[in-house]
Amino acid sequence: MTAVLEARGLTRILPGPQPTTLVADVDARFEAASFTAISGPSGSGKSSLLYLLGLLDPPTAGNVLLDAASTSGLSSEARGRLRLEHFGFVFQFHFLLPELTALDNVMLPMRQLARLAPSSMRERARWLLASLDMEAEATKVPAALSGGQRQRVAIARALANDPRLVLADEPTGALDTKNGAAVFAIFRRLADEGRTVIVVTHDDQLARNAERAIHIVDGRVARQPTFQVSGPIGN
């Protein structure tokens, strides 16, 4: 089966008098409707790898393939367009605009892509919030929401342009155990619905609720265990 996303020899080195290697020669494949956790100790290169996979940072060497097509050599504008069309991103801190309502925050990526009429954008944003049990909070600004609610809005925003790939960097890091498990359950559901989900986490218990974990140590893949997932997350 052709991978939706593939890393080949992916490497990122920060230049300087003493160059720092963040990611070193990583090979990985991600298929449709899969859920992968990237785990490892603090400073191991987990987030750096995710940023490379999401075309947020350019590699020093190696390549990222999207639908078997190379992304090497693309302009920053072309990479940005691919991100808007194919990727949804969720981060540890929600990065919602404080002056906008939940509904307007979710509509932001749709406005950037400019595929839908404003009325359709609003309708889709409401539908996404409702799918995450957040319809009643649509008119609230982030300051009026709990941490778990803000992260649900951030997930809805990540899904705004109907991406096939959802990439999340420590999305439960600022949440308590209950809300963290609930957010991970949402990612499981997204994979079950056919999306390719890749989540960075330092929590080994949460990582085991993915189908597979890529364990990173010092920027390199140490192992890629496959898990049998059954039952609700947190059990």
Where would I find the beta strands (DSSP E) of 40-107? 61-66, 69-70, 87-91
Helix (H) / strand (E) element for 124: namely: helix 118-131
The Cα–Cα gap between 185 and 233 comes to 6
What's the residue count for the chain?
A: 235
CA angle 93, 95, 97 (to 5 degrees): 150
pLDDT at 124: 97
- 230 domain-assigned: no
What domain count does the chain have? Answer: 1
Number of Cβ atoms within 10 Å of the Cβ of 39:
25
Q: What is the pTM of this model?
A: 0.91
Beta strands at 61-66 and 35-39: parallel, antiparallel or unpaired: unpaired
The answer to whether residue 82 is domain-embedded is yes
- 69 found inside a domain: yes
Domain that holds residue 88: 5-223
The answer to whether residue 229 sits within a structural domain is no
Looking up residue 209, the CATH number of its domain turns out to be 3.40.50.300
pLDDT recorded at residue 77: 94
> Quick check: is 37 in a domain?
yes
Flag whether 228 is in a domain: no
pLDDT tens, N- to C-terminus, the chain (235 residues): 679 999 999 999 999 898 999 999 999 999 999 999 999 888 899 999 999 999 999 999 999 999 999 999 899 999 999 999 999 999 988 899 999 999 999 999 999 999 999 999 999 999 999 999 999 999 999 999 999 999 999 999 999 999 999 999 999 888 888 888 888 889 999 999 999 999 999 887 778 888 899 999 999 998 776 655 444 333 3
